[in-house]
């Protein structure tokens, strides 16, 4: 047995040595072979190889190339510095998104800087994104720098850009395309000539001893969906960056608040990123048809949808900002109205186009001319009015003190009135002061009764604002008609009429509702009891 085990051990050792010897031989042979190949490569004769030559540059000029060379010198880099401020209590988190109850738009708007910087949450998001490379306003005592773009429109140094590029900046500097890269980009100090928050536009100026190159302004009304466009700017501090795309939509509103009345953008898929803000959007004639202002993004960078303020709007604002007052003055007649009305509202109130007045500001132009809530403005100086945007565009362009003939419907009767245009800013200030003096409505008395619409309402409580009539919405039944037309969000509002029939108490409300049947259009006129002079809103639908 021991002899057998010994022979097995010897056999295993012999096999192991054989394998190792074979591997060693293979490695040596491979090394010699490799050495031999390398040696052969080194000895190859390449005397017959022809060296490559750099050819003469070929001019492959395109319209894009021509426009970039033509307009590029007039596009500037804007650098701003905001000095540290004392930390303020209750500062809003700039990354948060808060949604406020929608208020009826008006032909005034709102210049109150305390209301979300006057931009609305959606626009505020865009402005912060485009504000530049410095990030969030610092709370640690450090300077904040941001970057944007602009373009020269006057050889004496007048530059157009976005308001949010220079807003709250303590120092503004401009670098021209001819200034060397890597140099001091703060070499040319600029001063603000004027700003317009409603359109997010600003005019700044640099001193110059010689005429500067300028852009050529175009007519943005000529821009069509599908047209090629070019954007030039300084994304991510990369100055003189040129991108191309097409006009993907027109008349696009991205802020549903009051500012949205003056912001009807050209939409484009030309790539724009942080730092492009304030730069030009050009047509294929090399003309500026817009100022790049915002993009839609979920990542913080280009996602294929950008927005530019149309040149025709820009030109009108610029001409007012360089005037002696350096501000934009807009006309107003002192009304509020509701945009995007349900079709049931227009059917019940008997109009296809026009503006249904929600509220009239007491003591102002429309009130003095006899216009009332529920009237439907159908024309201005004989020109038909399509909708609220159309009305605002017309009225805001008129000078305060001028008069306009307004055609309107009241209870199906065509009437007209002469209205004196007022100063929008002054009307806003007076209206805001009046709202602060209003008393809030008292608590509602509970009422568990339900109508066939799925609404629980109650009479107005004692202490309700004088002159206010109607019933208070207490609750909405899930899945009911009222729920379907989104009256759930209107709890606490007052129904003042149903299908133009005034409502004074719960009993009257139930009488009106009892006469409704399936297939009827039902429109509720609502008033906020805490802002009874703030105008009406209208909600409606077709009863199933």
Phi, psi of 290 (to 5 degrees): -175, 165
382-388 contacts: CB < 8 A, separation 24 or more?
Answer: 382/407, 384/353, 385/353, 385/354, 385/355, 386/353, 386/354, 387/339, 387/353, 387/354, 387/355, 388/105, 388/261, 388/337, 388/338, 388/339, 388/355
Task: Please report the DSSP string for 404-453 in residue order.
Answer: EEEEEEETTEEEEEEEE-EEHHHHHHHHHHHHHTPPPP-PPPP-----TT
Angle at alpha carbon of residue 207, lines to 202 and 210, rounded to 5° = 120
DSSP-derived letter for residue 106 is B
Coil, strand, or helix at residue 245? strand
Q: How far is CA 231 from the centre of its chain?
A: 18
Residue 40 CA to residue 43 CA, distance in Å, equals: 5
What is the spatial distance between Cα 422 and Cα 396, in angstroms, rounded to a whole number? Answer: 10
Is 289 in a helix, a strand, or coil?
strand
d(CA 318, CA 203): 7
444 alpha-carbon distance from chain centroid: 38
Residue 374 to residue 291: CA distance in whole angstroms:
38
CB atoms within 10 A of CB 131: 26
The secondary element (H helix, E strand) that includes residue 338 is none
Catalytic residue among 107, 110, 124, 164: 164
Give yes or no for a contact between 145 and 84, defined as CB atoms under 8 angstroms apart. no
Residue 269 among the catalytic residues? no
Write out the DSSP string of 147-212. Answer: EEEEEEEETTTEEEEEHHHHTT-SEEEEE-TTSPTTS-TTSEEEEEEEEETTTTEEEEEE--SSPP
- CA gap 398, 421 in Å, rounded: 7
Task: Give the integer Cα–Cα distance in Å for 393 and 13.
Answer: 100
Tokens of 326: 């350096």
How far is it, in rounded angstroms, from Cα 192 to Cα 526?
44
- Of 146, 277, 346, 451, which is the active-site residue? 277
Residue with tokens 């490559």: 52
Q: What is the DSSP string of 228-244?
A: EEEEEE-GGG-TTEEEE
Catalytic annotation present for 164: yes
The single residue of 107, 124, 200, 389 carrying the catalytic annotation is: 200
Q: Is 200 a catalytic residue?
A: yes
Rounded Cα–Cα distance for residues 129 and 12 (Å): 75
Q: Which residues are marked as active site?
A: 164, 200, 277
């Amino acid at each position: 047995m021991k002899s057998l085990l010994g022979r097995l051990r010897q056999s295993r050792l012999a096999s192991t040595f054989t394998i190792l010897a074979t591997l060693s031989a293979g490695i040596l042979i491979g090394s010699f072979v490799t050495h031999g190949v390398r040696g052969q490569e080194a000895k190859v004769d390449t005397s017959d190889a022809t060296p490559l030559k750099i050819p003469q540059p070929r001019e492959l000029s395109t319209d894009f190339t021509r426009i970039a060379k033509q307009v590029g010198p007039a596009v500037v880099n804007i650098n701003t510095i905001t000095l540290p401020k004392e930390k303020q209590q209750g500062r809003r988190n700039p990354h948060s998104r808060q949604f406020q109850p929608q208020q009826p738009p008006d032909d005034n708007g709102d210049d109150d800087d305390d209301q979300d910087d006057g931009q609305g949450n959606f626009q505020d998001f865009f402005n912060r994104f485009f504000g530049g490379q410095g990030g969030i306003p610092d709370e640690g005592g450090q300077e904040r720098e941001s970057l944007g773009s602009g373009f020269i429109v006057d050889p004496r140094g007048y530059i157009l850009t976005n308001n949010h590029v220079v807003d709250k900046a303590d120092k503004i500097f401009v670098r021209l395309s001819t200034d060397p890269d890597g140099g001091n980009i703060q070499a040319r100090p600029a001063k603000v000539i004027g700003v317009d928050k409603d359109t997010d536009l600003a005019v700044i100026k640099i001193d110059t001893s010689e005429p500067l190159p300028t852009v050529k302004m175009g007519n943005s009304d000529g821009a069509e969906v599908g047209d090629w466009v070019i954007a030039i700017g300084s994304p991510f501090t990369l100055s003189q960056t040129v991108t191309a795309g097409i006009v993907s939509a027109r008349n696009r509103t991205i802020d549903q608040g009051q500012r949205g009345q003056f912001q009807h953008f050209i939409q484009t898929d030309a790539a724009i990123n942080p730092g492009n803000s304030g730069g030009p959007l050009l047509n294929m004639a090399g003309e500026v048809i817009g100022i790049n202002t915002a993009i839609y993004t979920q990542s913080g960078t280009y996602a294929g949808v950008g927005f530019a303020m149309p040149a025709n709007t820009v030109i009108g604002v610029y001409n007012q900002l360089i005037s002696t007052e350096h501000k934009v003055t807009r006309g107003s007649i002192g009304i509020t109205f509701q945009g995007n009305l349900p079709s049931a509202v227009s059917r019940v109130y008997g109009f296809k186009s026009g503006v249904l007045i929600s509220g009239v500001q007491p003591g102002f132009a429309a009130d003095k001319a006899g216009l009332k809530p529920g009237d439907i403005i159908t024309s201005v100086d004989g020109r038909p009015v399509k909708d609220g945007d159309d009305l605002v565009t017309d009225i805001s362009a008129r000078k305060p003190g001028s008069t306009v003939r307004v055609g309107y419907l009241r209870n199906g009767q065509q009437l007209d009135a002469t209205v004196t245009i007022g100063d929008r800013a002054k009307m806003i200030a007076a209206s805001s002061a009046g709202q602060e003096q209003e008393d809030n409505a008292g608590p509602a008395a509970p009422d568990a009764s339900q109508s066939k619409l799925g609404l629980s309402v109650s009479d107005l409580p004692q202490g309700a604002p004088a002159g206010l009539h109607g019933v208070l919405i207490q609750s909405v039944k899930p899945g009911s008609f009222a729920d379907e037309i989104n009256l759930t969000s209107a709890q606490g509002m007052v129904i003042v009429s149903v299908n133009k029939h005034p409502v004074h108490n719960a009993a009257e409300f139930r009488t009106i509702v009892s006469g409704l049947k399936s297939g009827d259009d039902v429109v509720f006129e609502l008033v906020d009891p805490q802002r009874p002079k703030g105008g009406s809103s209208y909600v409606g639908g077709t009863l199933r």
